[in-house]
Every structure is written in C-alpha cells, then in structure tokens.
Amino acid sequence: MELTDFLGLLGGLALFLYGMQMMSEGLEDAAGNRMKQILEKLTSNRILGVAVGAGITAVIQSSSATTVMVVGFVNSGMMTLRQAVWIIMGANIGTTITGQLIALDVGMIAPLFAFMGVAMVVFLKAPKIRHIGKIFAGLGVLFIGMDMMGASMVPLQNSPRFIELMTQFTNPVLGILAGAVFTAIIQSSSASVGILQTLAAGGLIPFSGAVYVLFGQNIGTCITAVLASIGTNRNAKRTTLIHLMFNIFGTIMFTLLCINLPVTQWIETLTPGRPSAQIANMHTTFNIVTTLVLLPLGGKLASLAEKLLPDPKDGMVIKPNLQTLQDDWGKGHNVLGYTAIHTDALRQEIERMLKLAGENLERCYNAVLHTDRTALQAAEEAEEVIDGLNRDISKYISKILVHNNTDQDVAVIEEYFLITGNAERIGDHALNIGGYVDVMHRKAIIFSELARKEIEEMREITRGAIYKVLHRENDITKWLSEIAAMEQQIDDMTVTYRENHLNRMRQGLCSEEACVLYAELLTDFERIGDHVLNIAQAYSKIGIQN
C-alpha cells in the first residue's frame, strides 16, 4: 500500500466521519427542543421506545450519538432509567441502516445527494430547508468518503501479509477484540462496519472472520457513551452500563451460535456473492434478535444495573446543575439532543430561582407582620443565592446562544432570559418589603390591625400567583388568563388599599412614618404582580414555540 493510498484511506475516513457529523447537526437544528417532546411521549411503552430509538438512530446513523443523547437526558432528569433501556435497544437496531445503505451501493448517487444538500444550504434562505439540506449534504459526503476508502484499499488485495492478517480474525477472540478496539478508537460503529464491508467487498477478509469483528464492533461502540457518562449522576452511568451489557450479551450469544450452528452459511445464502450485503444482514440480525431476546427483560436489565451501580450509602442523589453542565460543555455540545438537555437544565434552574424568590417573598411578608429581624437576615442570605443564580443563568444563556443557530431555540432561550430578569426583580422587591423591618424596629412603627390584615391578603395573593406560574397547565391560554386576572386583582387591591390608607391617615389611625412605609410597601406589591404576569407571558410564548 503506497503513501497516496494510505492518504486516500485517511481522507475517505475523514469525509465519512464529517458527513455523519453534518447529518447529526442537521437533525439537531431541524428537531431542536422537540427531541425532548418526542421522548416525553414515550412513557413506559417499550415498543414505542424501541421504535423511536431505532428511528432517531436510522436518521443520524450513529447509535453512539443516540446513546450519548440518552445518557444526557437521564442525567438531566428528562428521562427515567427504564425508558432509556428501550431507546438503547432501538438505537442498536437503527444503526444497522448505514450498512444496509452501503450494501445497496447508494454511493453511486452520493455526489447528487451532496450537490442537492449544498445547493439547499447555500441558495435557499428558509432555515428548515437549510437544515434538511445539511442532512442531505452529510449523507452525500459520507458515501463519497466510503468510496474513497474502498478505492484506497484496492492495492491491499495483492498484499499476502494483509490477507494473512485478515484470516487470523476467524479466531473468535481475536476478531471480537480487533473489532472492539478499532471501533473504540474511531468511536463510530457505523464507520467501522462500513470499513469492514469495504474490506469484505474487496475480498480482503472472509465472511467467516468478519462476523466476529462485527460482534466486537458492537461492543466497541459503547466507548463513546462511557466517555460521555464521566462526571454524570448514577442513573446516567447505569444507562451506559445497560448499553454495554446489551452488546456483550449479544456478542456472547451470537458467537456461540456461529460456532455451534451454521449461522454464517444461512446469512450467506440470503445474498450469495455479496459480502457487503452479508455483513449488513448479519449486523441487522444481531441487533434485532438480541433486542427480541432482551425486550421482555428490559426491567431486569435496569435492576441489574442498579445492583451493579448502587446509590451512595448516604442515599443522596446528586442532581446536575448549570455549573456541572458548563464544565461538561466541551464534551459534546454538538451531540444530538444537547440543546434539549441544556435548555431543560436551564428551565429547571430558572424555576428553582423563581421558587426561591417566592419563598423569600413569603419570608419577608412574615418579617414585616411580626417585626422579625431574624427572618430579615435569612431573607438577605436567600437574596444572595438568588442573585448568584441570576448571574450563573445569564452566563449560561449567553453560552447556549453562541452555540445555537436555530431560530426556534433561540427564541425560547431569549424568553427564559426575560423570565430570569423578572424573577430576580421579584426577589429585589421581596427584600425591599423585608427591609422595612429595620425602619419599623428603629422607629418603633406598628401597623394597625386593618393594615396588617391587608398585608396578609397581599401575601396570600402573591403566594398564589407565583404558585400558579410554577404549576403550568396544558391549556396555556386559560392558564395565562387566570394569571392575568390575578395580576388585575393585585392592581385593584393596590388601589383599594391606597384609599384605605388615606382614610386612616385622615382619621389619625396611623403615624406619619407608618403611612410612608405602607405606601412604599404597596408599590412593591404592585410591581411584584407586574413581574409575575411578565413571567407568565414569557412561558406562554415558550409553549407556543415548542
């Protein structure tokens, strides 16, 4: 094999991997956050879960990418461990589509796919069309790379040493080991299976040896998910373990079948004289049969993973936060589903911030009602946490926007940014209310019973409004109108309480200092209602976008 052939092999492999990445990015851009919605509809339906896993993987042609996505979803709490089992099984079936396409010699029209895709990306302006074009271009580049690899391997047909090396893989252990190691290095079973098909098509490896390499490739593809699970929670690691157990079980089962039964001969008779198709058929058979055998045992697989990787003895479950995801950002923000993972983590942190702001508002109202300076100190500490969350979330949003070009996802993230700002302002107004305690304590101000009753009513409606925002309903229009009615009620109460306040002033029922303080408290109360409505309107727009 001359240097030019070796460079051609590397170039072909580079195009193959780059084409696969283009397809994955195109699908990510086209699907965006809807990937989460698809997976949320799975519930516990194992058949639907397998079908969705197979479908996603068939499109992106990478079980590794799907598994990494699933690991991320489990880590973020978007998916349960038992849902992940079915997706992984389906992913192993879906990844076989690449081999079948190669066996059909789709590469003959690969340049047409590449041209169509590039033309759609360059000349058309509609974002969705451009995303689809990226998928087509990736598919074309993928097969052009495959053809380059095949052409560069032609001289190896006359290399006795290489042919002798390939015949060594008829030994099951050597074949499985070689397939696992090579696939782990390039981190793509689709690419390694494609290379194996190219070798077989050129007569460089017998089908009897190729099957064991193929089985090993199914194990080697797990390395990507293993790497992705580093630093994740225990359930995400269990997801990776299930993927590994699935492929190890399938490899052991099919190796024993091939040794004791004429399985390879049966597969050969399906497409005689076409080694590329024979490998594709064996790959498909391997994953479908293994899935059918393990499908009734999916729950057992999850339970076994839980036993092999038990929870920490203290029972604590570490949940991901924005800092963890920011630290892991470089591990694959281009992986399918990462936008959904990060957007969902962002949503969780914003809701945590809003909940903290609501709790602090409750704390501050109580501080005013009971002139409790201890409660004020706790509120000040909580406000520091809220401000810290606001800074972290703002930085995180800017990072997502830099790496995201999808208009729909950008619009959603911008709404989250508005929600963050309004939640932070609720926290500020809450602290303003709590801060009146110092003045009350210093000047010995005591609110009248009527004023205290009005403050109680303020506390109740603001508590209810924030609770309503945090517990969104399927009917967004009805939900938004109910919050708008609550905000209007806050405005009406503010007007009424101001009039009551003026009457008390005229009657001399409250001191001058108390009157000033109460007027400022009403202003904060009204502003909190405005921010709650702003948050609800932003959430309603997110619901429409999704």
Contacts of 461 (CB under 8 A, 6+ apart): 486, 489, 490, 493
Q: Could you tell me if residue 162 is inside a domain? A: yes
Residues 224 and 342 placed together within one structural domain of the fold: no
Please give the residue that has the higher pLDDT: either 408 or 355: 355
Q: Are residues 130 and 174 in the same domain?
A: yes
- The closest alpha carbon to 283, from 378, 364, 213, belongs to 213
pLDDT, tens digit, for every residue of 365-384?
988 888 888 888 888 888 88
Say what the pLDDT of residue 331 is.
47
Model pLDDT for residues 202-220, shown as the tens digit of each residue: 777 888 888 898 998 888 8
Q: How many domains does the chain have?
A: 2
Instruction: Express each pLDDT in 458-478 by its tens digit.
Output: 999 999 999 999 888 878 889
User: Do residues 242 and 357 share a domain?
Assistant: no
Query: Is the domain of 238 the same as that of 304?
Result: yes
Rounded to whole angstroms, the Cα distance separating 275 from 161 reads 21
Rounded Cα distance, 226 and 244, in Å: 9
315 inside domain:
no
* 238 close to 306: Cβ distance less than 8 angstroms: yes
Domain check: are 224 and 345 in the same one?
no
Confidence class for position 136, pLDDT limits 50, 70, 90: confident
Looking at 308, 329, 353, the residue that finishes a domain is 308
Burial of 259 (0-12, 13-18, 19+ CB in 10 A): exposed
Q: Which of 456, 450, 432 is nearest to 527 (CA)?
A: 432
**Domain identity same for 272 and 356:** no
pLDDT of residue 523: 92
**Cα distances (Å, whole numbers) of residue 476 to 352, 421, 469, 472, 538:** 21, 22, 11, 8, 11
Residue 408 has pLDDT above 80, yes or no: no
Judge whether 199 lies within some domain: yes
Residue finishing a domain among 291, 308, 325: 308
Position 522 scores a pLDDT of 92
Instruction: Tell me the CA end-to-end span of the chain in Å, nearest whole number.
Output: 53
In a domain, 427, yes or no: yes
Distance of CA 119 to the CA centre of its chain: 30
**Tokens of residue 112, six digits:** 């047409």
Q: Are residues 362 and 421 in the same domain?
A: yes
Tallying the residues shown for the chain, one arrives at: 546
Question: Is residue 414 in a domain?
Answer: yes
Kindly state whether residue 50 falls inside one of the protein's structural domains: yes
Mean pLDDT computed over 291-296 = 90
Does residue 330 sit within a domain? no
**298-348 pLDDT, tens digit each:** 888 888 988 888 876 544 344 445 555 555 544 444 444 556 667 777 888
Q: What is the pLDDT of residues 493-504, one digit of tens each?
A: 999 998 988 888
- How distant is the alpha carbon of residue 155 from its chain centre? 44
Tokens standing for 201?
């098509």
Question: Do 282 and 401 belong together in one domain?
Answer: no
Give the whole-angstrom CA distance, residue 74 versus residue 87. 11
- Do 284 and 363 belong together in one domain? no
At which residue do the structure tokens 């945590």 appear? 352
Residues 294 and 413 in one domain: no
pLDDT at 341: 66
Q: How many CB atoms lie within 10 A of CB 36?
A: 22
What distance in Å separates the CA atoms of residue 442 and residue 447, rounded to the nearest whole number? 14
Q: Which amino acid is at 27?
A: L
258 and 403 within one domain: no
Task: List the domain range (segments joined by +) for residue 469.
Answer: 337-545
Tell me the pTM: 0.60
In this predicted structure, which of 147-151, 274-278, 373-377, 397-401 has the lowest mean pLDDT? Answer: 147-151
Q: Is residue 316 part of a domain?
A: no
Identify the pLDDT of residue 145.
77
pLDDT at 140: 81
CATH number for position 359: 1.20.58.220
The encoded tokens of residue 132 equal: 């689809």
Q: What is the pLDDT of residue 332?
A: 47
Q: Provide the pLDDT confidence category of residue 439 given band limits of 50, 70 and 90.
A: confident
Structure tokens at 422: 């309004």
The answer to whether residues 158 and 241 belong to one domain is yes
What count of other Cβ atoms lies within 10 Å of the Cβ of residue 274? 16
Mean pLDDT of 401-411: 69
**213 three-state secondary structure:** helix
